[in-house]
Structures are given as C-alpha cells and as structure tokens.
Structure 1
Amino acid sequence: MKELLVHSGGNRYPVKKNAKNHPKTFLSLCLLAIGTLTSVTLLTTYPVFAQEQATEKLPVTNSDYIQKVLEAKLMDNLPDGNFYPERLISRAELASILVKAFYLDKRQAAKQEKAIVVPDVPNYYWAYQDIQTVLKTDIMKGYRGNMFFPNQKVTRAEGLAIFAQAYGVFQFPDQTIKEILTPYPDVAYIPNWARRAIATVISEGFINTDTNGNINPLSPMTRGDMAYLLSKYLQRQQKQAETPIVPTILQF
C-alpha cells in the first residue's frame, strides 16, 4: 500500500492511501499544515503582545523616584491626581515620554517636513506629533503596513531597548554583553535583539529588578518601571552637570 507524505511545521506525516479513510485524514492534515503556516504569518506580520513572564511582580517604585519625574515634567499624574505606578505603558505613551526626556523634536531628523503615513495614527490623535518624531528619528519603528499600534502595551525588553536607542546604545563586544547580563537569573529570557541595549541600561545603573534580581524582560512595563528608569537618567544627567571641569595647564 502506497503512502502520501504531508508536510507541516518541518515534519512529514505519512497517510495511507485508502479509498475509505484517505479523504478525511488527508483533509485534516492539510488543515493542520495551513494552520501552521497561518501562525507563522501572523507572527511576522503583527507584534507580540506583552505577557507575564514570571509570577512575582516587580516592586512598586519608590515615591521619591516618581516625584523627581513629575517635577521634571517627563510624566504626569492621571486626571484624578494619582500616578498609578502599577499601570502599563503603551507605545504612544512611551513615544511621548521619550520625546520630552531626550528632546527628540530638536534633532535634525525630526525636522523633516514630510509626514510619515501611519494608518492607525491619524493627525488628530493625541500623540500624533510625538509618534511622528520617534519614527523620523528612528527611535521607534512601525510594523508591517506602517502600523504603529499606539495602544499596545510594551514589554520591559521593548521599553528598555527603545529607551537605550534614544539614550545611545553602547557598542559593547559580545563578551562584555555576556559578562554584564550573566549575573541576572532570567538572562535566558532576554531576546537577542535587546541584549546590547539592556546591557547599556544596566551599565548606566538605570535598571530595576524584582526581589530575586530578575529583569523580567517579557513582562509588561509599568509606569513605575518607567519612573525609575527616568529618575536614574535624571540623576546621571545631574551628576554630569555637577562634575567640575579641570582646567588645562599649558606648559612652556
């Protein structure tokens, strides 16, 4: 009896050529193959949504950090006057924060007059200009079809990597990146594309972890996480401003 082979997900499934049961079995396996291909297509077309990686949540950010960020006007309380550090950050919110924190609208690339067409961000959207700025400066990127998904929540890996992109990613060699990341228990969960950027954030002392020292890169980024990150950035900027300049002594 001859066998047919149906391919799906890299595997080959033998199907006996029998007039009685072949049509049903063959149809089922074809549907399986189509389903596999559809899943791959969706993964390459649409973003992966933030999901919980670990059961233990990151500790709520200290109120001092939040106050520093509020005073710097990099983030705001919500309309009811509360900050809600546990709430999640969306892509639109991240774009708005980064434009303010790094003065992205002052960069030369942001000044190009031609607008980028973003189907899901009309020109009356509250963060339209900020999204245009992060796209023009290449700090953030859209998805297939120039979709931005402004309301999509970002993972910590995404948020940290995009922050590092605005800050300036250090071009560490691979060995240095490994040395920086290895001490963290969940290093295996850090996506390859985010390793250098997260190593940059760690080396600058901007990272916050849970009580076990985990980065939780696949967990959603919260407003508290962002407040901590920004407060450490502000602290670094202040230290640099206060560093005295040693005059050069000319010798004759």
Structure 2
Amino acid sequence: MYDLVLIAGPCRSGTTFVFNALSHSDFVGFFQPLKHQIRCGLSGTSSGMKLERYVGKRIVIKEAFGPYNLEEADYDPVQKTIDIFQADKVLLVLVLRSPPECLASWEKAFCSDGPVSDQVFNQAYLNTLRLQQKYAQILDVETLILEQEQHFTRTLDKIKTRLGCADVTQRYCDYVKPRDPHRYEVHGLLDKALKGKDYNAAYVSRETATVEMSRIAVALQCYGAAMRGLNEPSESCHEF
C-alpha cells in the first residue's frame, strides 16, 4: 500500500475527478497545497498551512498546473511532497487531456476577460511530461488520458483496487483544501468534478478552442508523446 499518491497534470484535465475517485478513509486528501503556497507567495500573503503536522499519515494529493502564472505551471511537486511527508512508497498519477479541448476549458473557466497565456498552457503540458520522464524509472507511475475512456477507466480501476478504494461511498478521513488568495478563486468551478467518482463520458466536454495550432505546439507534442506511451517529450519541445 502507498504512503503517498500524487495526482498531477494541467488544469481542467481531470485531476480533480481522479482525486475524488481515489477517496478512501485510510488517506488524508490534500487539494493542491503546493500551488496554494506558490499563489500565496505571488500575492504576498501567508498560507498558514502546516503540512508537516500530517507526517506519518497516508496522503493523496492533487496538483494541477496553471492557469495564470508560469510559477504555477513549472514546479515539481513530487520530491517536495516526498520530503514533507517522509513517504517511502509513492504512486504518481499523471492526467492529460486533448490540448484543444483543455484550452477551451481554460478559456471558459479562467480567462473570460482575456486570452490564455500560451506560455503557461504549453508549460503545464511540458511539466507533466517532464515528471513522467524524471520519475518513470524511480516510482510507480500511471498516465491517464481523459479522452481514452476504456484505458482511463481500466487504469483507474486498477489504481483503486491497489488502494482499496473501490467502494464509491468512501471519503477521505480528512480533507484539506486551503483557501487561495481572492484573485485566484473561481466559484462553482469544481461542483461537477467533486460530485462523481465514476467516469462518465457525457461529462467530458468535446468543445474545442479556435486557436492557431502553432500557439499550442508544445502541448500537442507532449500530448502526442503520452498517447504513444513514450517516457519523454519530443526533442523539439523547448523550455520557456
């Protein structure tokens, strides 16, 4: 059994759904505590969150990259959470979604008053594939592609069996969702994602953004690498 399960991927890719689906009374659930700390740092506020008090507990953490700043799309949550919680047995679950559909969701959810930052969006995908490359030979790593319903449900069921959380009525023994600085709050965004634990294709929006594909070229390359089952992004992907 794992001491730490870390779920990571770009915002709006399905990370919240997976986090909810893995809820189990043996685990404490944390909702993006590291991104919360980054946002507090950028806002000049104190988070007041003491993660160290949960050392010795079994932990499930969800971290989603983006959507506003490069700092929240370009961090490595793995080693930091391992160090904080002193975890020995770790499962990393990476979640990705078709970039045009994910971009459309970013535009609708976060950026109604202006365009999505190309750099932040691409970096969220590059960071996800970077984690796969860095940890594939060190930790247990599973990759979920939101649009691949059969593979998604089969792999998620396998993870749930390993964690002993097949019972959909299970809840985390403690649920920690720190309140972000006001400018980052989007009310009502998580309602649907937090209600269901079973994959439902009807919940996966097929709306796509109207965008010049060159703007999201890095995201498309990273997504293609994941679809092919590769462990590292294309050499033509670059850092920002």
TM-score, normalized by the shorter chain, greater than 0.5: no
- Who wins on radius of gyration, i.e. which is larger? 1
TM value normalised by structure 2: 0.23
TM value normalised by structure 1: 0.22
**Higher RCO by CA contacts (8 Å cutoff, separation 6 or greater):** 2
